[in-house]
Structure 1
Amino acid sequence: MSFCQIASADPQVLGWQETVYFTDEQLFAEAKIDTGADHSSLHALNIEPFEKNDQAWVRFELLGQKTLERPVLKNSVIKAKTALQAASVRPVIALQLCFAGQKRVVQFNLVNRQHLKVPVLIGRADMPKGWLVNPHQTHLVSTDCRL
């Protein structure tokens, strides 16, 4: 009796840290590939919600470099890490990026990540399906989406 199925091809592998390219904004950024996170997070400063045409929007400074305005897709409630902290609510926006040679639209929750080493976190929901993450290596894939 077999408990596992062997894949016919070698799986693609990501490093625990990769470079991503925000195509519309023409910005490169370092991203942590986090298999422990469900969703993706993006470093943003001066996060200001506002209304436009009766819809929730947010203005923010992307990676400390460009000010953007995007519609808010939803608000994400982030659980507190300790009992002494309160849960936080973060706006979720969509941005197109090139990652692992593929263009994809990723939903990011916006948060100040200045205290962290890497400005972008890619969660499981936005990882290429079927790929593996090598926790001992970085920068294994291309940001070239012309492939």
Structure 2
Amino acid sequence: MFPRLLSIGVLSLGLLLAGCALPIEQAEPEPVLGPDEFALRIDRLEADLAGRCDLQQRRQADQEQRQSELIADVREVGTLVRHLRADIERLERTDSEPLVQCAADELGLANKAVVGRSEWIGLPDVGTYLKARVDSGAHTSSLSASEITRFERDGDNWVRFKLGVTDDDVVVDDVRDEWIEAPVERRVRIVQAAGEESRPVVSLMMTLGPIRESVEFTLNDRTHLNYPVLLGRRFLMDIAVIDVAETYLHERPEFPGGRPADEAVDDEDDRDDEER
């Protein structure tokens, strides 16, 4: 009996010793970041954050631009509606007027000024005279402008610009490089072969012979054309008719710093409004 117990004890002791010799798995320690690796990770995080901020700012800028364009479109539609209502009222008044047995009145010419296909116009608010091509084929009048800059004043859209004139254009020299500021009445879309363009429209006081009217001009660069001003049919409506056989029927207006009206004949010519 004793020898058997001794054998069992020896066997148990051997198994115990063998078990103590078994390897014990241990978790690998977390790697310790050195200063350079830590700085590299921080730089990556900063770059990622900066990229996300730039993306957010670009999205916000795009949204603000779309909002501004939408507001401009709404204002343009409102202006067009007002003009349409005025045209309807004018037509209603015309339809209600009795017919007069007079050739001039029948044609609606009784109180209209006659202008030639080329004329001198004056811009009192700017302080200069300019040559103008009169063209009933154009809907809106146009003024040559450069360095057109949009800005806001008291919540309204304004533009700042200079006259777009060349050395060959006849103008009061003192205003060649003067800045002109005016509120934007509306914007028009012009479709050309080169693509679509949006142009601001401003209202400026203009004189032409006996005519003194506030005229809407689209602003665009006309320095490649022979006339810095184009007068369209919106200006002519109800106040003037064109005698295409005549030019410069009215005297050139005078402004401080400009040349006398009696010297205008030396500056007058009649060219088609084509590229120089």
TM-score band w.r.t. shorter chain: 0.7 to 0.9
SS at match of 2:121: strand
| C-alpha spacing 1:54/1:73, structure 2 compared with 1 (3 Å) | same
- Tell me the secondary structure at the aligned position of residue 234 of structure 2: helix
Q: Which runs of 4+ in 1 moved over 6 A?
A: none
Q: Distance in 2 between matches of 1:125 and 1:42?
A: 14
Aligned equivalent of 2:213: 104
Are residues 1:59 and 2:160 paired?
yes
Please say which structure displays the higher CA radius of gyration: 2
TM-score (norm 2): 0.46
Percentage of identical aligned residues: 31
Q: How far apart are the structure 2 equivalents of 1:112 and 1:124? A: 20
**Which 5+ residue runs of structure 1 have no aligned equivalent?**
none
Instruction: Determine which of 63, 67, 76 is the counterpart of 2:188.
Output: 76
Q: Which residue of 1 aligns with 2:149?
A: 48
Deviation at 1:132, TM superposition (A): 2.6
SS in 1 for 2:246: strand
| Greater per-residue helix proportion | 2
* Contact kept? 1:101, 1:143, Cα under 8 Å: no
1:25-64 CA-to-partner distances (Å, cap 9, x unmatched) read: 2100000001100110000010111112221111100244
Matched letter for residue 27 of structure 1: T
Give the structure-1-normalised TM-score. 0.84
Secondary structure, aligned partner of 1:139: coil
In 2, are the aligned partners of 1:20 and 1:97 still within 8 Å (CA)?
yes
Corresponding residue of 1:86: 195
DSSP 3-state at the match of 2:200: strand
Confirm whether residue 119 of structure 1 aligns to residue 231 of structure 2: no
Aligned partners of 1:34 and 1:122 also within 8 Å: yes
Q: What residue in structure 1 maps to residue 119 of structure 2? A: 18
CA distance in 1, matches of 2:215, 2:112: 22
User: Is 1:38 matched up with 2:139?
Assistant: yes
CA separation in 2, counterparts of 1:58 and 1:6?
A: 45
Counterpart secondary structure, 1:141: coil
1:132 equivalent among 227, 235, 241: 241
Paired with 2:181 and 2:114, the residues of 1 have a C-alpha distance of 34
Q: Structure 1 residues 12, 94: CA separation in 2 closer, same or farther (over 3 Å shift)? A: closer
Shift of 1:97: 1.1
C-alpha RMSD of matched pairs (Å): 2.3
Provide the aligned length of Structure 1 versus Structure 2: 139
Query: Within 2, Cα distance between the matches of 1:25 and 1:75?
Result: 21
Name the structure, 1 or 2, with higher relative contact order (CA <8 Å, separation 6+): 1
